[in-house]
Amino acid sequence: MSGLDRLEVRGIRAWGHHGVNPGEQDVAQPLDIDLAFELDLSAARASDALADTVSYAEVHASVVRIVARERFALLERLGEAILDALMADPRVARARVSIAKPRLLDGATPVVSLRRER
């Protein structure tokens, strides 16, 4: 697909119980999440109507809710759940999620990036 526009929501800080190491699911820890999704925004550019685009506020709330309510061992599985939510909107043609765990490793931050396309 070509001619698609990109929306991004960067720097979402969400707290959740995810991980395989001892104690990681006992206490909520911060996750930093960046999203990008591609769709045709020509209608929104012409109309200036929120109904013709994706609401950043709704996307943000959905991601924070998934991170807080779900529990997964792997960031890969958490990322898949977030992609499911993004791709639930049929207008979204491609989506990417990156999830960072800033407090896991001393001096390093692991990041998982996943993509999906229709």
pLDDT in the model for residue 66: 98
* CA 32 – CA 70 distance, rounded (Å): 16
Q: What is the DSSP letter of 65?
A: H
Q: What does pTM read for this prediction?
A: 0.92
CB 86 within 8 A of CB 59: yes
Is there a catalytic annotation at residue 101?
A: yes
pLDDT, tens only, 88-108: 999 999 999 999 999 778 888
Going by C-alpha positions, the residue among 98, 99, 91 that lies closest to residue 118 is: 91
Catalytic residue among 63, 83, 99, 101: 101
The whole-number pLDDT of residue 22 equals 84
Q: How far apart are CA 63 and CA 69, in angstroms?
A: 10
**Band of pLDDT at residue 55, cut at 50, 70 and 90:** very high
Structure confidence at residue 23 (pLDDT): 86
Residue 74 has pLDDT above 60, yes or no: yes
Angle (deg, nearest 10), helices 75-87 and 56-69: 140
Angle at 114 between CA 98 and CA 64, to 5 degrees: 45
Domains of the chain: 5-117 (3.30.1130.10)
Q: Which phi and psi (to 5°) does residue 5 adopt?
A: -100, 165
Count the Cβ atoms, other than its own, within 10 Å of residue 62.
15
pLDDT 10s digits, 25-38: 999 999 999 999 99
Residue (of 92, 104, 74, 109) closest to 35 by Cα position: 92
